């Protein structure tokens, strides 16, 4: 199947991304009685309050939630993606599966725990993923040219992230590649160069492998093409 890329230009990309994500969650819920969702931290997390506002009543309680990446820190740490979600004070979803739990110490054991639960509870896959975009073109903690892109399991340990903190966990590229829809928020002029690389489907970028990518952005992408 040929990968597809859709750009949603909006002066309010957070709300535009939330609209597409909420619709995807509702579709999955109607089809299978729930939705398997992965989210990031960072500025893209601002999408979630709008998603919950747009979802049909009761849908969020059937969402199985995990993270596209995480820093190897407890949830109480300021740079924890899981902690960032908890600090939003939103209603909890039906299930949460952390990439890095508070009692995790060894990355290999954390991957084993995550993989076991991902296969058991998520049937080894996702319905939709929310992504942010790094200025170097990375998504999750999958950096262009990094060996982690070659990982074959459900999750991968990144001991040397080019962006601090160095120790991270990430969903693997095969998991993201198997996800039917990814909704990306790309906001601000600082992401313009990276967005252009994504739209050109530059070889080596993790986004180039995604089957269906919707980008909500306030960045002028005129003149770029997904062809």
Report whether 34 contacts 27 (CB < 8 A). Answer: no
Residue 223 lies in a domain: no
**pLDDT tens, residue by residue, 57-100:** 999 999 999 999 999 999 999 999 999 999 999 999 999 999 99
**pLDDT tens, residue by residue, 24-60:** 999 999 999 999 999 999 999 999 999 999 999 999 9
**pLDDT tens, residue by residue, 197-207:** 999 999 999 99
Residue 197 lies in a domain: yes
> In whole angstroms, how far apart are CA 171 and each of 7, 19, 139, 158?
24, 24, 10, 10
Residue 98 lies in a domain: yes
> How far apart are alpha carbons 146 and 198 in whole angstroms?
17
What pLDDT score was predicted for residue 2? Answer: 75
Instruction: Inform me whether the pLDDT recorded for 187 exceeds 60.
Output: yes
What pLDDT score was predicted for residue 220? Answer: 83
Residue 58 carries which DSSP code? Answer: T
Reported pTM:
0.95
> In which domain, by residue range, is 158 found?
4-217
Residue 25 lies in a domain: yes
> How far apart are alpha carbons 17 and 208 in whole angstroms?
19
**CATH (domain of 17):** 3.40.50.1360
Residue 59 lies in a domain: yes
Residue 226 lies in a domain: no
What pLDDT score was predicted for residue 71? Answer: 97
> How far apart are alpha carbons 77 and 18 in whole angstroms?
26
Residue 227 lies in a domain: no
Tell me whether residue 220 is exposed, middle or buried, using C-beta atoms within 10 angstroms of its C-beta: 0 to 12, 13 to 18, 19 or more. Answer: exposed
Report whether 71 contacts 80 (CB < 8 A). Answer: yes
What pLDDT score was predicted for residue 194? Answer: 96
**pLDDT tens, residue by residue, 155-181:** 999 999 999 999 999 999 999 999 999
Q: Which residues contact 23 (CB under 8 A, 6 or more apart)?
A: none
DSSP letter for each residue of 71-127: ESS-TTSTT-HHHHHHHHTPPP-SEEE-SS-TT---HHHHHHHHHHHHHHHHTT--S
Residue 170 lies in a domain: yes
Sheet with 4-9, strands from edge to edge, namely 4-9, 212-217, 181-186, 128-132, 35-39, 63-67, 95-97
Say whether the peptide bond before residue 139 is cis (omega within 30 degrees of 0): no
Confidence band of 222 (pLDDT split at 50, 70, 90) = low
- The percentage of residues in the chain with a pLDDT greater than 90, rounded to a whole number, is 94
Instruction: Give the total number of structural domains in the chain.
Output: 1
């Amino acid at each position: 199947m040929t990968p597809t890329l859709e750009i949603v230009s909006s002066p309010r990309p957070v709300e535009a991304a939330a609209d597409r994500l909420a619709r995807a969650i509702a579709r999955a819920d109607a089809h299978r009685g729930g939705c398997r969702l992965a989210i990031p931290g960072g500025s893209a997390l601002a999408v979630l309050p709008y998603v919950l506002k747009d979802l049909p009543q009761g849908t969020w309680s059937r969402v199985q939630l995990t993270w596209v990446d995480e820093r190897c820190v407890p949830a109480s740490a300021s740079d924890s993606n899981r902690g960032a979600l908890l600090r939003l004070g939103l209603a909890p979803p039906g299930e949460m599966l952390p990439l890095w739990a508070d009692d995790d110490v060894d990355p290999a054991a954390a991957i084993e725990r995550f993989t076991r639960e991902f296969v058991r509870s998520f049937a080894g896959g996702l319905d939709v993923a929310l992504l942010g975009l790094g200025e170097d073109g990375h998504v999750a903690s999958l950096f262009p040219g990094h060996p982690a892109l070659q990982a074959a399991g459900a999750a991968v340990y990144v001991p040397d992230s080019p962006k601090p903190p160095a120790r991270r966990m990430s969903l693997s590229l095969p998991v993201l590649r198997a996800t039917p829809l990814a909704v990306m928020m790309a906001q601000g002029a600082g992401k313009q160069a990276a967005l252009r690389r994504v739209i050109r489907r530059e070889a080596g970028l993790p986004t180039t492998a995604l089957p269906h990518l919707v980008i909500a952005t306030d960045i002028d992408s005129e003149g770029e093409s997904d062809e």
